[in-house]
Structure 1
């Protein structure tokens, strides 16, 4: 009986430690990660037009590099729109970025919005 209690206690400790490690794992640093893909905005839109499930498996929650032309910026919420089809939130600000600039962005791809027909990214670093 005593061995069963000790074994049960050790099992509880092991499971608790596993849960702790899962919940408190370190956060990703997108700016330090290597990009999985380097694409243009039109290539992303085309991939989602051809098959959303396949495109999600390829790009979703991955660090990617995207090239395009700036179509709008908003300094108050640090957002940028590229080629009227990519909306993103920038980490390091929008200094020296103007409309019609060609830029290269690196960030986490968070999805495709069917209603607006645009792709979305966050944690963007402007490589330019």
Structure 2
């Protein structure tokens, strides 16, 4: 009879331990995703120098407003000092940032946005790291 109580006690402790470990694992996985992505976390200004075929770089500044409006400014470094500005609305969908009026999207990552190719896939190759806009805040 003692043996059965002993085994029952161990099983109860084991069940609670596994439950706690599972909860910690899930919390760890969620924190690795830098928390849930929501619109309020995206509001701010992002900057980067995108590759350019006929100039030094495309200096890019993207400002996302809390009203879901955006302002995108490009300056073709070494070619034209006049900024090209585009305005519109933005939307977060499945971890990707969609800017109204643009053919490409950005993947949302911790403190940065990664520009995707026209088919919505991550850009790979030698210049892949240059397609990133980093948060200024």
CA radius of gyration, larger in: 2
Same fold (TM > 0.5):
no
More strand by share: 2
TM-score class normalised by the smaller sequence: 0.3 to 0.5
TM-score using structure 2 length: 0.31
TM-score using structure 1 length: 0.32
